[in-house]
Amino acid sequence: MSVELWVAIIAGALALAAPLVLAGIGEGFVERAGRINLGIEGMMIMGALTGVWAGSLAGPLAGLVAGLLVGLVLAVVMNLLVYRLHANEIVIGLGITMLGLGLSTYLYQLWVPSGQTNVAVATVPRVDLGPLSELPVVGPILFGQSPLVYLAVVLLVVAWAVMRFTRFGLAVRAVGTDPASAALRGVRVERTGASALLIGGALAGLGGAVITVGTIGSFTPDITAGRGYIVLAVVIMGRSRPIGIALGALLFAFLQSFALLSQSTSLQLPSELYQSLPYLVTLVVLVITSRSQMRRLFKTVRPA
């Protein structure tokens, strides 16, 4: 395998990691607040479809905004069902995922009936960084990316700063650690949890739009291919911390990029192995990470 191929694999990994990082940042807020959003997959695929639809009408920026808004709307629905109607959060999250998968396919078939050519939209243009992008090896990897990759990096830093230095971040951590104690200290537990889910839903929808408007330029049913569940795994592996989320997303994206590009090499391996490799390795790392976290928990609660 040549140096050029490895450069392409690593550059592709950064692009593939962007939607996972965006959705992961949002889910990090949700889980730090003591909640869980199993509707990420549904929010991402609805954001992907809405992004293409809005992008076909008003350009890629409108597509990204539309994807973010549809994720936000689904998060509002989830908050209403959980906090006002006292529905089970796990069931509602799974319901939103099933709704998103089914509704996106139905709306897409209404928009592009069977037999018609798929709608292609303009994607977000790459930023020309001049001589930097022409540097050997480093240039294509770091300076030849879509602006959405740099947006994901910026939001990682913002999420870390918000969680560490702001009153909202302190409230989120307090609610996730001990909601009863947080309530005694004047923190509005429900409002904090609901706000965290709104952030998670908006970024999940944005992540879905990044897949279509940011990279591919079109929509097909099941285009997210389980990335919502990968986001959940990445957040667990990263312990809901921005840096951990980024590393987990990069691991999955690197393996996915490797699987896509290595099929053109002389490695005579079944294509099914390439396709399953990112998911298998992510599962193994998730199990190892979960076991180590459980050991630390048991050591903490073990009586003296």
- CA–CA–CA angle 229, 231, 235 (5° rounding): 120
Instruction: Give pairs for 150-153: CB < 8 Å, separation 24+.
Output: 151/18, 151/22, 152/17, 152/18, 152/21, 152/22, 152/25
Among 17, 11, 32, residue whose Cα is nearest residue 234:
17
Q: How far apart are CA 172 and CA 40, in angstroms?
A: 20
H-state helical runs in 263-303: 271-301
DSSP annotation of 85: S
CATH number at residue 109: 1.10.3470
Which phi and psi (to 5°) does residue 291 adopt? Answer: -65, -40
Residue 235, burial from CB neighbour count under 10 angstroms (0-12, 13-18, 19+): buried
Q: Are 208 and 46 in contact (CB under 8 A)?
A: yes
> Angle 264-152-49 (CA atoms, 0-180°, nearest 5)?
70
**pLDDT tens, per residue, the chain with 304 residues:** 678 888 888 999 999 999 999 999 999 999 999 999 999 999 999 999 999 999 999 999 999 999 999 999 999 999 999 999 999 999 999 999 999 999 999 999 999 988 888 899 999 988 777 788 878 888 888 888 899 999 999 999 999 999 999 999 999 999 999 999 999 989 999 999 999 999 999 999 999 999 999 989 999 999 998 899 999 999 998 889 999 999 999 999 998 888 887 766 656 666 677 678 778 887 888 788 777 666 665 565 455 4
- Number of structural domains (the chain) is 1
Name every residue whose Cβ is closer than 8 Å to that of residue 16 and which is 6 or more positions away in sequence.
Answer: 253, 256, 257
- The Cα 159–Cα 155 span in angstroms is 6
Contact predicate 17/152, CB 8 Å = yes
The amino acid that residue 74 corresponds to is L
Q: Which residue has the tokens 């490797």?
A: 258
What are 170's two structure tokens? 């302190």
Which residue range forms the structural domain that includes residue 256?
3-301
Place of tokens 């939209």: 121
Nearest to 224 by CA among 49, 18, 41: 41
pLDDT of residue 1: 61
Residues 270 and 121: their CA atoms lie apart, in Å, by 33
> Distance between CA 230 and CA 256 in Å, rounded?
12
pLDDT at 151: 95
Q: To 5 degrees, how large is the angle CA 285–CA 290–CA 291?
A: 100
Tokens of 119: 């709608």
3-state DSSP assignment of residue 145: coil
Token look-up 């990069």 returns 250
Q: How far apart are CA 297 and CA 50, in angstroms?
A: 42
